[in-house]
Amino acid sequence: MRRKDREMSREFGLEIIDKSTYGVLSMVDDNNEPYSIPLSIARDENTLYFHSAMDGRKVKAFKENPKVSVVFVGETKIPEIYSNEELDEILKDESKAGILGSKVFTTEFESAIVVGKVKLVEDEEERVRGLRLICEKYTPTKMAYFPMAVKTGLKRTNVYRIEIEEVTAKRKKYDIHGQEMKWSRME
């Protein structure tokens, strides 16, 4: 990671994974072409689970090369550090022009990147557990219907796991005084 001052802990990265709506899985397909796809992913300790159809481009790619990375993006927003009046004052002093690029025309963000290997889950109990985790994350109010859905859907669904080999996390965020919170500073 180039910007070590924005690097966050593994635990922070796992929190980003858990709260992200989706992860973008990247791989090299069976034609040696890069391929990425957004997926609904749930985590259990050091394992990520997702499901797919039983055939297709990614299914073939996994057979050729199971090494993947997954990008998760947490909260993003444009910082509102300066009022328009303060920005008008900055315009009067060219020596302050750098503030515009670093604190006005920028984005606060948090992200995590996982590196690991994809494996098709073949054990039925683990397949159900993986699907349950996904459904609990995305449809928690519908879990009363899960047993019937899994009973009919399991036979036509692949479930995959990724053992997390590495998690890196990064954040750019400003405090209430307009100072960037570097070196994992939380407040």
Q: Domains of the chain by range and CATH?
A: 4-79+107-172 (2.30.110.10)
Task: Read off the pLDDT of residues 134-157 as tens digits, 9 standing for 90 and up.
Answer: 999 999 999 999 999 999 999 999
How many Å apart are CA 136 and CA 133, to the nearest integer? 5
How many Å apart are CA 108 and CA 174, to the nearest integer? 7
Q: Which of 151, 153, 132, 155 is nearest to 143 (CA)?
A: 132
How many Å apart are CA 155 and CA 175, to the nearest integer? 50
The amino acid sitting at 142 is K
- Looking at the DSSP bridge assignments, the partners of residue 34 are 28
Length of the chain equals 187
Query: At 161, is the secondary structure helix, strand, or coil?
Result: strand
Cβ distance 75 to 172 under 8 Å? no
- pLDDT tens, the chain, 187 aa long: 677 788 899 999 999 999 999 999 999 998 899 999 999 999 999 999 999 999 999 999 999 999 999 999 999 999 888 889 989 988 888 888 888 888 898 889 999 999 999 999 999 999 999 999 999 999 999 999 999 999 999 999 999 999 999 999 999 988 888 888 888 777 7
**127: DSSP letter:** H
Query: At 160, is the secondary structure helix, strand, or coil?
Result: strand
The amino acid sitting at 127 is R
Which tokens sit at 179?
């100072």
